[in-house]
């Protein structure tokens, strides 16, 4: 069960920021004993991999905090984040961590299942993130973009660390993501209703 929670937390984290969970696993796997990646995923701890992930993370962090640019970035990341989610779920769920000592017990021989699950989870989280950003930008005249982006980055870091160190708390993070999803769609529905009401009022005075 912990394998699934670890993978889910890492995949959800990738939906917010593609590179944070991968870089977190890479750094913890290279410099600590918190996670022991299996042979097939040992490339994550390579120095060049860590450097490339760090550079990509820097670009992502900056681009995601600039209005309009963040929208273009979200379009590009529609492919990147789900891919990273699949990698993160696959690597995280098959690794030994401080809470998982037998990572092969949960998924057995179906190694494609965690990767597919990670893609779907990251895609769903990314969809919510991409849908919420225009709402934030419009309602705050773009001022809220860096604030929302910083909150998402912090959330991604926390989800990644908790997924490895204390995966049971991932459930709380997922609960917050669900709450955020409901808030986004309620806000969009309210704005649409306001626009329709405004258009109707305008026609009455024409």
Residue 36 near residue 95, CB atoms below 8 Å = yes
Taking only the tens of pLDDT, the chain with its 206 residues reads 677 788 888 999 999 999 999 999 999 989 988 888 887 888 999 999 999 999 999 999 999 988 888 888 889 899 999 999 998 988 887 777 755 655 665 565 566 777 888 899 999 889 888 888 887 777 777 777 888 889 889 989 998 998 888 877 777 877 777 776 677 667 667 766 766 666 555 555 55
- Assessment of whether the complete model's pTM goes beyond 0.75: yes
- C-alpha–C-alpha distance, residues 3 and 140, integer Å: 40
CA angle 75, 86, 179 (to 5 degrees): 65
């Amino acid at each position: 069960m912990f394998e699934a929670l670890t993978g889910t937390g890492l995949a959800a984290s990738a939906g917010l920021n593609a590179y944070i969970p991968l870089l977190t696993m890479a750094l913890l796997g290279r410099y600590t004993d918190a996670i022991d990646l299996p042979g097939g995923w040992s490339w994550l701890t390579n120095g060049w991999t860590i450097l490339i992930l760090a550079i990509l993370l820097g670009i992502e962090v900056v681009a995601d905090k600039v209005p309009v640019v963040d929208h273009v970035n979200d379009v590009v990341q529609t492919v990147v984040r789900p891919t990273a989610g699949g990698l993160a779920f696959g690597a995280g769920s098959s690794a030994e961590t401080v809470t998982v000592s037998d990572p092969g017990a949960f998924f057995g021989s179906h190694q494609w299942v965690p990767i597919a699950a990670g893609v779907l989870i990251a895609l769903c989280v990314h969809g919510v993130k991409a849908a919420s950003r225009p709402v934030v930008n419009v309602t705050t005249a773009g001022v809220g973009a860096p604030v929302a982006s910083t909150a998402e980055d912090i959330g991604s870091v926390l989800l990644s660390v908790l997924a490895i160190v204390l995966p049971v708390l991932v459930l709380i993070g997922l609960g917050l993501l669900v709450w955020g999803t409901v808030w986004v769609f309620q806000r969009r529905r309210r704005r649409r209703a306001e626009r329709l009401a405004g258009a109707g009022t305008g026609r009455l005075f024409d």
